[in-house]
Amino acid sequence: MKNVTSKSSTALELEHEQMSTPPLQREAGGWRSVKYIIGNESFEKLASMSLISNLTVYLLTNYNLSGIFVVNVVQIWNGTSNIASIIGAFISDAYLGRFRTLLYGSIASLLGILTMTLTAGIHHLRPSTCKDTPHCHRPQGWQLGVLFSALGLLSIGAGGIRPCNIAFGADQFDTNTKKGRVQLESFFNWWYFSFTFALVIALTGVVYIQTNISWTLGFAIPTICLAFSITIFLLGRHTYICKKPQGSIFADMAKVITASCRKRKVQVSGVAFYDPAPRLDNQPELENNKRLTHTDRFNFLDKAAIIVDPSELDNQGMARNAWKLCSLQQVEQFKCLLGILPIWVTGICCFIVMDQQNTFGVLQVVQTNRSIGSHFKVPPGWMNLISMIALSFWIYIYECIYIPLSKRITNKAKRLTLEERIRIGILLSILCMLVAAVVEMTRRDSALKHGSFISPTSFVMLLPQFALSGLNEAFAAVSIMEFFTLQMPESMRTVAGAVFFLSLSIANYIGSLIVNVVHKATSHRGKTPWLGGHDLNKNRLDYYYYMIAALGALNFVYFNFFASYYLRNNKGTEITEDSTFVEASQPNDEEKGNMIIL
């Protein structure tokens, strides 16, 4: 009996201890948080890409615009959306933080896609349907104004989402540990794979509904998906690692340039650099007294951190004028940005090729035989899914077959280097344009031979060029984004995303400029223009594709003989222990006496 009583007493004590001990809270961040971020991204991309994939067809069929006008609208809108990411990065870093910037950007996108839905549902917001092609009613100015306002809201939303989504996902991993770095590397690929896989499943239905059933319903579906995306994002708000805004890195860059120019006559050797101890409330990335190491590249910028006179510091050892004296950390952050520029230029040329399939590639599909059987026609917007399928297929093969197989054979996971992946991506971009040119020549010749607007050539002939465009993105885009993120310290990851999308933006603008220059240069003296008008059969689009392929060949030469050098010599941001001032060289005793040491 005593034994039973003793056991009961012990059980009660254990139960009391369990009730009095507070439950352990699960750590924030990691894959637990990333699943919400990837879910948000998947549905956001579903909404935005269902519009992007079919915007060319929507403007052609519902706004009665010429082909070259449509190409300009699509490319300038894409460019504006991408360049808005710079503004979004500034706001995120200086004021709102990544979580709130993502949230507000998603809301702006929701308003934009809702306005697009209204343009499809309310007939007065667009011109009447065209029945006689040469005499179509053009949209009125105010109708274009409503359209452009919708596109503008979508650009604002993209400016908030694009620079922060990957950066916010990367924030959830501790890159100071080997496990965190491995998880981050896989995150880049799975981030691309997850939303692309969702798009492949969903966009087949959405684009078909837009083209064959109802544009109103086809735009309402992505509107609902975007609202669902915001809901998923908010559901995970308690699991996220949310870092506070740390100030605008762009303002710091301007200060570094200004200060280094003011001190351009100062010698770098034998001086002390201003390198104050970090304030953890403003710079959480410098926890545990770790910071970027001083590097020897771009030495001219080091002058911004040189203490020329003791009066440049206040009584607490801080700079009196940030435009005359910058910290060594500010200088090194700017160097990180400059260090990625050679690869950034390579990315722009690759992205110009990717843009072609969203515009001219879709126009090609419109003028091919899209019939499958006697009752079904493939919507032109579906062709963009081929690129996404190719991208997803390669990432799956790479992550789930190639890497495990190499690990089994060599006992070490062997990954393709960034240099190898980017080089393959450039070659694929060249091949994509060459294939597109040959296919276009075949399509055009067949249409002219039969005297018809629609070529008897099957749309299947265009599948290879769309697949090659997707593989170009899988190799080049993923690798370049990975390179940008790994080269930046944690405090600049939003900038890395902004720089990536800025390259997309510039590719859009350059693409639009090339289109207009080629159109004007080839449409005089009665010659057949390469571009322009409603009918590709009256143009020589194949010549234009050959020109873009030549641009890709120049990019390949540039990367191999110049940019790859910076890729091999940039090993990522290095971290060192805290110090107050760093000496540029070993000074003599007299120079030591003149230095200021806190």
pLDDT, position 436:
93
Mean pLDDT of 504-509: 85
* 251/491: higher pLDDT: 251
Q: Which token pair is 364? A: 């090609």
Start and end residues for every CATH 1.20.1250.20 domain found in the chain: 31-245+341-569
Which range has the worst mean pLDDT, 14-18, 80-84, 569-573?
14-18
pLDDT at 413 over 70: no
Between these two residues, 197 and 141, which has the higher pLDDT value?
Answer: 141
Architecture of domain 31-245+341-569: Up-down Bundle (1.20)
Say if residue 437's pLDDT is above 90. yes
Q: Identify whether the C-beta of residue 158 lies closer than 8 Å to the C-beta of residue 109.
A: yes
Please check whether residue 310 is in contact with residue 598, taking contact to mean a CB–CB distance below 8 angstroms: no
Helix (H, G, I), strand (E, B) or coil at 306: strand
For residue 86, the one-letter residue type is I
DSSP codes joined into one string, 493-545: HHHHHHHHHHHHHHHHHHHHHHHHHHHHHHSSTTPPPSS-SS-GGGS-HHHHH
Residue 320 has pLDDT above 50, yes or no: yes
Among 577, 540, 530, CA closest to 287 = 577
Q: Tokens 């080091």 appear where? A: 302
pLDDT at position 22 over 70: no
- In this predicted model, what pLDDT tens digit does every residue of 183-232 receive, in sequence order? 777 777 777 677 667 666 667 788 888 888 888 998 998 899 889 889 88
3-state SS of 325-389? CCCHHHHHHHHHHHHCHHHHHHHHHHHHHHHHHHHHHHHHHHCCECEECCCEECCHHHHHHHHHH
Res 444: pLDDT = 92
As given in the structure block, the two tokens for residue 567 are 């890729």
Q: Is the pLDDT of residue 541 over 60?
A: yes
Q: Which tokens is 497 given?
A: 């995303």
pLDDT at 558: 92
Span 370-387, average pLDDT = 83
pLDDT at position 584 is: 41
Residue 581 — very low, low, confident or very high, per pLDDT cuts 50/70/90? Answer: very low
Q: pLDDT confidence of 453, banded at 50, 70, 90? A: confident
Enter the tokens of residue 76: 């300038």
Reported confidence tier of residue 427, pLDDT bands at 50, 70, 90: very high
User: 53 or 537, which is more confident?
Assistant: 537
Q: Output 310 or 468, whichever has higher pLDDT.
A: 468
Query: What is the rounded CA–CA span in Å between residue 162 and residue 277?
Result: 33
- SS3 sequence of 216-245: HHHHHHHHHHHHHHHHHHHHCCCCCCCCCC
Contact status, residue 487 vs residue 573, Cβ threshold 8 Å: yes
- Residue 586 pLDDT more than 70? no
CB distance 316 to 439 below 8 Å: no
User: What confidence score (pLDDT) does residue 429 get?
Assistant: 92
Of 461, 427, 426, the C-alpha closest to 542 is 461
Please state the rounded mean pLDDT for residues 412-423.
82
pTM of the model: 0.72
Of 28 and 377, the one with more pLDDT: 377
Distance, in Å, from the CA atom of 343 to the CA atom of 335, rounded to the nearest integer, reads 14
Residue 458, strand partner residues: 369
How far apart (Å, rounded) are the C-alpha atoms in residues 569 and 503? 22
For the chain, the first-to-last Cα distance in angstroms comes to 73
Q: What is the mean pLDDT of residues 346-370?
A: 87
Tell me, what's the pLDDT at 174? 73
Residue 222 near residue 209 (C-beta atoms within 8 A) = no
Is the pLDDT score of 585 beyond 50? no
Q: What is the pLDDT, as a whole number, of residue 577? A: 43
Q: Which of 85, 384, 45, 390 is nearest to 194 (CA)?
A: 45
Q: How far is CA 382 from CA 194, 208, 370, in A?
A: 19, 8, 11
Residue 438's pLDDT band, with cuts at 50, 70 and 90, is very high
Residue 495 exposure: Cα atoms within 13 Å on the Cβ side: 25
Per-residue confidence band for 526, with pLDDT thresholds at 50, 70 and 90: low
* Mean pLDDT taken over the chain: 79
Whether the Cβ atoms of residue 153 and residue 115 lie closer than 8 Å to each other: yes
